[in-house]
Amino acid sequence: MNVRERLGRVMPSTYRGRIALAIVVALVVAVVCVQFALNVLVTQQVQQAVQDNLRQQGQEIAATYRRAGHDGVAQAQRYMPGTQVVVRKDGETVYWSDPVQVLDAQVVVTDGDLQVTVQHEASAGVIGQWALPLIIIAVVLIIGGVAWWLAGLASRRLRREASALAAQAEAVAGGDLDARVEVSDDELTRVATSLNAMTQQLADADKRQRVFLADVAHELRTPVTAIDGFAQAMVDGTISTDDGHREAAEIIHEESQRLSGLVADLQALTVAALDAEPVREPTDVVALAREVATRLEAAAAERGVLLRGPDATQDSIVVPTNAAHVQTILGNLVSNALRATPAGGTVRVSAQMADGEAVLAVADTGVGIPADALPHIFDRMYRVDAARDRDSGGTGLGLAIVAGLTDSLGARIEVESSPGEGSRFALSLPLVAA
């Protein structure tokens, strides 16, 4: 058992006891220090003064003995209460007085063949031996009582504030995300502020989650309604011609594809949220960007957009990263760029080195993004132009997936856009895995 564990066992378990103990220890240390200072600075000076006085008296007694002998010293002794005098001549004691019980000071004076010993009795006698300890004990008891009272005041306030924090935590655990605790100007300010901030974050997250679920339900409702309506029309005979059946089947297929895309995006978004530490392997990001451009080239041609990837002659850039995540990011960025670019426009995918990082960029000549929309484009289900995006098959989750996967890779993504001129999304990958 180490010293900390031993101290932990003897320490009081309550805050009041600990506060009181701390105050008592601090005050006792202060009393001891003051007493020590008094002993050093005052007592020594007083003792020196007493010894100087006794030395002077010893010299006078020696002179008195030479002048008046034994009787003269006895006569002088009457004016020296509480003092023992011993006179020796040539080593033989020629005068002594009654001994004192508790000595305060002693001085030996030598004057030729005379040796005078003067001993002074402590003024308080035996009682003086216990006076200082008794005073210290009384002071400690008084300090202990005051400390216990002060500790009670401090602990009661601490308990009130801790109870308020606990009540808020219980309310939040019970689902009340509007609960807040009053922030006071004391040691618990940081705890209260952090708890309020955490509760606010939970409330914001809950609100975003509710909005997200409502948006997903809306996105699911549209294709499901279309599929159900046309299927029911085919079943009850409302659509009876071959052309009508063919058109209904095409619509059902398109809406099914739309549902499949939404489910795939939801799965990708889940992976981005849960895959906190993806597996990283050395990856040629130039070849990866070229592969994504080749895969989406047919979709670009269908929209009348020119899609270009890195040149075949460009040198490789190898980065420790997760190839699947980077493919998903580039695929979503290119798909968004194709939807935002009208026929005749261009989308370019590039890979290059910049400031010690590998930068994969997707630039288009599309409609661009308004400045007020830029802070929100990575939010779930957010669309700059909802009507156009729904018509073109977007779910509003692509950039949210991009943001999640970017964070999991320890990378960053930057956006530059001007309405009517196009946009550029740049993914910066570190060359060394964190």
Amino acid type, 305: V
b/e 285-322 (16+ beta carbons within 10 angstroms → b):
bbbbbbbbbeebbeebeebebebebbeeeeeebebebb
343, pLDDT greater than 70: yes
Q: What's 410's domain CATH number?
A: 3.30.565.10
Domain total for the chain?
3
What CATH number is attached to the domain comprising 213? 1.10.287.130
Q: Is residue 10 pLDDT above 50, yes or no?
A: yes
186 or 146: which leads in pLDDT? 146
The CA distance from 264 to 266, in Å, is: 5
**What is the pLDDT confidence band of residue 389, given thresholds at 50, 70 and 90?**
very low
Position 149 in a domain: no
14-51 per-position pLDDT tens digit: 655 666 667 777 777 777 777 676 666 666 777 777 77
pLDDT at 170: 76
Higher pLDDT pick, 312 / 16: 312
Helix, coil or strand: residue 180: coil
d(CA 373, CA 204): 19
Task: Supply the pLDDT for residue 237.
Answer: 77
Q: Which residues constitute the domain of residue 28? A: 3-143
282 pairs with which residues across the strands? 320
Q: Are residues 351 and 388 in the same domain?
A: yes
Average per-residue pLDDT in the chain? Answer: 77
Which string of b and e fits 135-152 if b means at least 16 CB within 10 Å?
A: eeeeeeeebbeebbeebe
- Answer yes or no: do 68 and 16 share one domain: yes
Residues 239, 287, single domain; the answer is no
Query: Distance between CA 337 and CA 296 in Å, rounded?
Result: 11
At what angle are helices 189-236 and 125-173 packed, to 10 degrees? 10
Contacts 24+ apart (CB under 8 A), 383-391: 388/339, 389/339, 390/222
233 and 183 inside one domain: yes
pLDDT (mean) for 370-386: 73
Q: Which of 230, 248, 274 is the last residue of a domain?
A: 274
Residue 43 maps to a domain = yes
